[in-house]
Amino acid sequence: MASSGIINVVVTGNRPFMEYDYNTSQLVRDALPDSIPMSNQKEIRIFKYFRDTWDTYDDVRYVSRDIWSGKRSLFLPKPEPNDEEEYVNVDFILHLGMIALGWDHKQFRFETKARRDGYKLPGDDSKKVDSDQLKRLGLPEELSTSLNVEAAWRKVQQLYPNVTSCVSDNAGLYFCEFRLYSSLAEPLLCKELEDKKGRVVFQHLPQAHDSKAIELARDITVAYISGLADDPIFNKDSASIWGMGSAYLMQSICQAVDTQNCKKQGSQDCI
């Protein structure tokens, strides 16, 4: 179990990109609460990485190292003046990103895997992923989260049965996927982070960005974080901490954004 009954999750959001003048990952990250109360006096603390990430592959690698360093000054909310906590024990990372590249723009996708190679699109600095460097570091072709994404997603479905969502193993071979790969890779490169292997997930958000859509996306993200916090990796006793985590979610009315079942995306079937 996480120390002192507290689970610390770091959440990232991104700048507007491509032809979009907004990014729902940025809006949803900023709308998240600072904490989620759980049962038995447990608590999830949500720390927001202090800046929007850039669409360059070098910045992605920098952000991964930054977050895993756990420096409290890198995260929002800002520490209180009398707060002596210099470092946060990061239990897991949730990267948020907005659906693009022709996928169903109303869909929530919960990613499970990331690839090292095959990134054809350059970043804003015109540079592509240096796959050869990643190979020289001994990193594998594919990395997967060790958290039970499907179980957390099913708990989201229980609360939001009419929202189109799926578990995915294809994050798109662009910045979203590389963010997941980079943060999963860092514990493999740093012995001090050995116990953090696999503790990274990625969530794709719909493009709708009116206030009601952001509120819904926020609540779904809270549900997902709560479901991930129920993973046995954080709860080695048999007690479930899901029950009271959902109390926060029930304060708002569940709204349907799409009544369709998960759709097929290219060669990827949503669960």
pLDDT at 40: 62
The mean pLDDT of the chain is: 87
Q: Which two tokens stand for residue 68?
A: 């895993």
pLDDT tens, position by position, 150-173: 999 999 999 999 999 999 999 999
Domain boundaries, the chain: 3-269
Q: Which amino acid is at 193?
A: L
Residues 6 or more apart from 28 whose CB is under 8 A from it? 13, 96, 205, 214, 217, 218, 221
- The pTM of this model reads 0.87
pLDDT tens, position by position, 119-146: 999 999 999 999 999 999 999 999 999 9
Q: Please name which of 105, 84, 68, 57 lies closest in space to residue 205, comparing C-alpha atoms.
A: 105
Q: State the pLDDT confidence band at 58, using cuts at 50, 70 and 90.
A: very high
Residues 6 or more apart from 244 whose CB is under 8 A from it? 37, 38, 39
pLDDT at 144: 99
Class at the top of the CATH hierarchy for domain 3-269: alpha beta
pLDDT at 254 over 80: no
Q: Which residue bears the tokens 């859509």?
A: 213
